[in-house]
Amino acid sequence: MNNKKVSVGLAVVMCIVVVIILGFVVSRRGTPQPIDIVPTDTSAVDTNIWQTYRNEEYAFEVWYPDDWLVDDRGDMFFIGPADFVQYKRTLLLSIVPANIGTESVFDLGAQPECSIDQIIFSGIQAKECTSDSNFGHWRNIKLSEPPVGWGSDNEIGYYVGSGYEEYALTYDQILSTFKFAD
């Protein structure tokens, strides 16, 4: 009888251990793990053959690779590789100068693993959100005191999905060419 009690007790303990291990594995599966894909040196990108996109209404310009496209939607602008339309969910640089009611990564809870820093972007005080995970890399900038014509919900930045990390360097270089018109 004692052997039976010990066997039952041991089986109960083993089941509890298995449940705890499974619970840990399942809870870790959905948690993004940080990865380092933020480029630090944008000089490796050759901008000599780039085009310039100018927008008179919002008074800005930005350079982009010669074989890339600008999708100008009037109040939103997207820049990406010529075939980027099919990759919009995983590869996107956007410029949103107006208040159009889109959810911002700066809104509470929109990007919980976002690291926010105060920066100067094209001569203007701004907030920058960067986030790295196994799902991708985000870099978004919100101008604290936007120029005339820009709304308070402005946003400039990009998202590079997992598997497209090589584009982060080019997008950082594009952002480094952004300037407001005189």
Q: Where does the pLDDT of residue 83 fall: very low under 50, low under 70, confident under 90, or very high at 90 and above?
A: confident
Quick: pLDDT tens for 111-152. 557 778 889 999 999 988 888 877 788 888 989 888 888 988
- pLDDT of res. 24: 41
Query: Phi and psi dihedrals of 17, rounded to 5?
Result: -60, -45
Q: Is the pLDDT of residue 5 over 50?
A: yes
Highest average pLDDT, of 3-12, 72-81, 111-120, comes from: 72-81
Confidence of residue 53 (pLDDT cuts 50, 70, 90): very high
Higher pLDDT, 145 or 15: 145
**Domain limits, the chain:** 1-31, 42-180
Predicted confidence at residue 33, as pLDDT, reads 33
Residue 44 is predicted with a pLDDT of 58
Q: Between residues 160 and 109, which one has the greater pLDDT?
A: 160
Q: What is the pLDDT of residue 22?
A: 41
> Which of the following CATH numbers is that of domain 42-180: 2.20.28, 3.40.1000, 1.10.8, 1.20.1260?
3.40.1000
Q: In which band, very low, low, confident or very high, does the pLDDT at 64 lie, cut at 50, 70 and 90? A: very high
Tell me the C-alpha distance between 81 and 23, whole Å: 42
Contacts for 101-105: CB closer than 8 Å, 24+ residues apart: 101/153, 102/153, 102/155, 104/140, 104/142, 104/153, 104/155, 105/129, 105/131, 105/138, 105/140, 105/155, 105/157
- Beta bridge partners, 128, equal 117, 141
Higher pLDDT, 106 or 114: 114
pTM for the model? 0.69
